[in-house]
Structure 1
Amino acid sequence: MTHESMMETLPAAYERLHAYGPEFGGDEEGNHGLTNHGPMAVEVMVRRGLDIDVDGWLDRYVRRLAELPGTSAAIQPGEWRAALGQARRLPDWTAYFRHELTERPWQEVLAEWWPRLVPGIVAGSTHGVIRVSHAVRTLRGTACAPARQTLDELAHGLAFWAARYRELAGVVAPEGTLTPRQALPAVTRIKEQNGFIAHRLDRLERSPGWTESLRALKPAASAEDVPARLESLVDSAAHAYLGLGHGSPVLLVHAATAPNAVRHVLPVLPAEQWLPSLTAAWAAVVAVIATYAPARPAPCAEIVRRYPELTREDALQRAAEHGDEHVLKFADTAVESYDRTGDPELLAATLHVGELIDRP
């Protein structure tokens, strides 16, 4: 896909998707619903230039979505704290961020709101930060003035994060000695891995191993070390999916995609926000692993042997042909990790996720 067609396709897709809310299904309060992955998946398709009919994919996908409800009361600048985590205020948050992004540069708005929102990184099963990151990737790749629809997409992402804001109690910064590859298997699992993610997170906060698992990771020596540390965390989580993914094929994708989302936003954030961002990203990874990963990984080497060797281009195209939004996002992340490390097992992981998750 040419740059020119990308500039046309993505804003048009965003425009279509913005008629819908960020979640669908769930109970009468909107809790325990499923996340609208449309904007995130389409961004991957377009940025990667995948051979896929974006409009056709959207035709199928939007049938499951719920319309975005109307606003109720405007969020005032001085009362934003009280509105955090109030799901019913989602349309109000969307209107608020739309206004902010028409009044100021998007980088300025993001730098102001990132430290306010990042303690609630698990919001919407980490989809708040992921949706924001995909919008930021589009904005960073735009040489000219951003399209209105792209700024709107950032507004929708920030609004979802704010409306579903959920802090985790007991979060501490890393202070241990383990590398990400060593720390991930050592994460203490909660005993009762059942129910909705909100219920699992409640149990996690009461778990004696929660804070210990957070501390175990070796800290970054300085802000300058954070990008490389995040990359190592993403690479380790993407590889770990081979042995853990069967435990919860969809949720465990986010152990890799959530820290990758943080990694892609770092370049537009002030450096003083980098260390807290690493702490938050690691907390998100530990939360997903502790609440969904099996205690004993499957044998990685045996899983890898099941899959043929393939190129990075083949991995991305197979994800496009599969069509599931989680498979697309995981493949996008795992191929980035492969580009850094050259580890062919990361490409095998893109086939494994496609086997574990049903085609739509």
Structure 2
Amino acid sequence: MDTTGDTADHTPGDTTGTLDEALERLHTSGPERQGWLSNHGPMAVEALVRHGQAPIVHRWLDYYRAKLEDMPSTDTPVTAANWREALADPRRIADWTEYFERETTERPWRDVLVEWWPRLLPGIAAGATHPVIRVGHAVRTLLTTEETAPRVLELAHGLGYWAARHQPLPVLGRLAPAPSAAAALDAVPPVPVREGGIRERFAGLSAFPVWPPTEGQGLGPDDVHDRLAELVAAAVHRYATHGHGSPIMLVHAATAPNAVLRTLPALPRELWAPSLEAAWAASAAVTAAYSPAAAAPYAPTGLSPEEVFERAARHGDDHTIKFTDTALDVGDGTALAAAVRSIDLNDPVL
């Protein structure tokens, strides 16, 4: 599973500057709309450009931009002295965005990320995991392409969104250790009330299986990386059989840990083990909140990875595009079938 990507001086698949143009269009918008729904635009356009679909990006944005709302007004600047009182306050989204814009202008983006990653990681459930996913897309771009101003600004917007929506999970009990990520996801108990939004469902979480069995203790960095890649693959594969339970929400069981996996190369290795633990908690929480009681059959696909992503791009749904992007990171036949399953389960928008 490749998490490093292309090392060219432009976004893979983009020789036109489309990604920067798209991000500039999107950065006038806030990270949410209608009070809670996340702005998926920056994540979707990054995936589209990376997989060779740059020619359709502006047409896709013309459709998607009409859904978005302007960035909210600022209130009180976030500073090094008052950030704790502003953490997890969604009314401060614009203040947090401006804070990280200043930070990433005055300091290297890696330094800002390393300082804030351990502060934000306990709140990985924020915004239905969308902030960490947005950060993961931004970091992937910065690690594998030229560090242009719009790409650094995108990281600032992702971090600001995460800080404003910061949401720790409840204190959870410990169930029996699971031998594999797939077994661990299968053993996650469902929340007792399967109604309401994700915050209400997360409030009903009680206990998760211990995974990996060592909980990251004693694992070397390479082991942590491999376990995280295993988790992403297991969540993608599980979507093929369980995605029908909630075709939109269950994509996050895979895309959230994959965002963490994409970020690992930018982090010091002492942060890798806690990153694995947080990624497992996020994936398990989404699984507990939305997974159906029974599996369903799925059909293998004979399509190539490129053909699968082209289908997702033509389909146009933002979650489908992002899930297919993660499925292509996994890359095996079951992952491609899961991506096709997401295309079939979700309504097309283009």
Note if contact 1:335-1:346 (Cα within 8 Å) is conserved in structure 2: yes
Give 1:303's aligned amino acid: Y
Q: CA deviation at 1:316?
A: 1.0
Note if contact 2:301-2:333 (Cα within 8 Å) is conserved in structure 1: no
Are residues 127 and 6 of structure 1, via their aligned partners in 2, closer, same or farther at CA, if it must alter by over 3 Å?
farther
Are residues 325 and 52 of structure 1, via their aligned partners in 2, closer, same or farther at CA, if it must alter by over 3 Å?
farther
Q: CA deviation at 1:147?
A: 1.4
How do residues 27-106 of structure 1 correspond to structure 2 at under 5 angstroms?
A: 30=35, 33-50=36-53, 52-106=55-109
Judge which range, 104-113 or 41-50, deviates more.
41-50
- Tell me how many residue pairs correspond in the alignment: 337
Kindly indicate whether residue 179 of structure 2 is the aligned counterpart of residue 185 of structure 1: no
Match 1:309 to one of 291, 302, 308: 302
TM-score (norm 2): 0.92
How do residues 165-176 of structure 1 correspond to structure 2 at under 5 angstroms?
A: 165-171=166-172, 176=177
TM-score (norm 1): 0.89
Q: How far apart, CA to CA, are the structure 2 residues paired with 1:199 and 1:238? A: 25
Kindly indicate whether residue 243 of structure 2 is the aligned counterpart of residue 215 of structure 1: no
Q: CA deviation at 1:176?
A: 2.4
- Give the structure 2 partner of residue 349 of structure 1: 338
- Give the structure 2 partner of residue 229 of structure 1: 227
Deviations 1:297-339 (A, max 9, x none): 22xxx312xx54111111111111111111111111111111x
Give the percent of matched residue pairs that are identical in Structure 1 and Structure 2: 48
- Give the structure 1 partner of residue 160 of structure 2: 159
Q: CA deviation at 1:349?
A: 1.0
Q: How far apart, CA to CA, are the structure 2 residues paired with 1:176 and 1:183? A: 8
How do residues 243-322 of structure 1 correspond to structure 2 at under 5 angstroms?
A: 243-298=241-296, 302-304=297-299, 308-322=301-315
Note if contact 1:90-1:159 (Cα within 8 Å) is conserved in structure 2: yes
Note if contact 1:171-1:283 (Cα within 8 Å) is conserved in structure 2: no
Q: How far apart, CA to CA, are the structure 1 residues paired with 2:346 and 2:322? A: 13
Q: How far apart, CA to CA, are the structure 2 residues paired with 1:111 and 1:278? A: 16
Give 1:245's aligned amino acid: G
Q: How far apart, CA to CA, are the structure 2 residues paired with 1:277 and 1:265? A: 9
Note if contact 1:214-1:282 (Cα within 8 Å) is conserved in structure 2: no
Other structure's SS at 1:77 match: coil
Q: How far apart, CA to CA, are the structure 2 residues paired with 1:203 and 1:177? A: 22
Note if contact 2:187-2:209 (Cα within 8 Å) is conserved in structure 1: no
Deviating above 4 A after TM superposition, structure 1's stretches of 4 or more consecutive aligned residues are: 4-7, 171-175
Deviations 1:43-90 (A, max 9, x none): 001111126411111000010111111211111202211111100000
Q: How far apart, CA to CA, are the structure 1 residues paired with 2:328 and 2:78? A: 40
Deviations 1:207-253 (A, max 9, x none): 3xx2xx24254234233311111110000000000111111100000
Give 1:90's aligned amino acid: I
Q: RMSD across aligned C-alpha pairs, in angstroms?
A: 1.9
Note if contact 1:52-1:320 (Cα within 8 Å) is conserved in structure 2: no
Judge which range, 315-324 or 216-225, deviates more.
216-225
Q: CA deviation at 1:174?
A: 9.5
- Give the structure 2 partner of residue 17 of structure 1: 26
Q: How far apart, CA to CA, are the structure 1 residues paired with 2:182 and 2:132? A: 23
Are residues 173 and 18 of structure 1, via their aligned partners in 2, closer, same or farther at CA, if it must alter by over 3 Å?
farther
Q: How far apart, CA to CA, are the structure 2 residues paired with 1:281 and 1:232? A: 12
- When you count helix as a share of all residues, which structure comes out higher? 1
Give 1:103's aligned amino acid: E
Other structure's SS at 1:126 match: helix
Other structure's SS at 2:76 match: coil
Q: CA deviation at 1:142?
A: 2.2
Other structure's SS at 1:137 match: helix
Note if contact 2:242-2:292 (Cα within 8 Å) is conserved in structure 1: yes
Q: How far apart, CA to CA, are the structure 2 residues paired with 1:165 and 1:214? A: 24
- Give the structure 2 partner of residue 336 of structure 1: 329
- Give the structure 1 partner of residue 113 of structure 2: 110
Are residues 254 and 56 of structure 1, via their aligned partners in 2, closer, same or farther at CA, if it must alter by over 3 Å?
same
Q: How far apart, CA to CA, are the structure 2 residues paired with 1:2 and 1:153? A: 18
Other structure's SS at 1:53 match: helix
Q: How far apart, CA to CA, are the structure 2 residues paired with 1:195 and 1:244? A: 20
Give 1:277's aligned amino acid: S
Give 2:313's aligned amino acid: A
Note if contact 1:214-1:283 (Cα within 8 Å) is conserved in structure 2: no
Other structure's SS at 1:303 match: coil
Give 2:153's aligned amino acid: D
Gaps of 5+ in 2: 1-7
Other structure's SS at 1:78 match: coil
Q: CA deviation at 1:9?
A: 1.1
Give 1:154's aligned amino acid: L
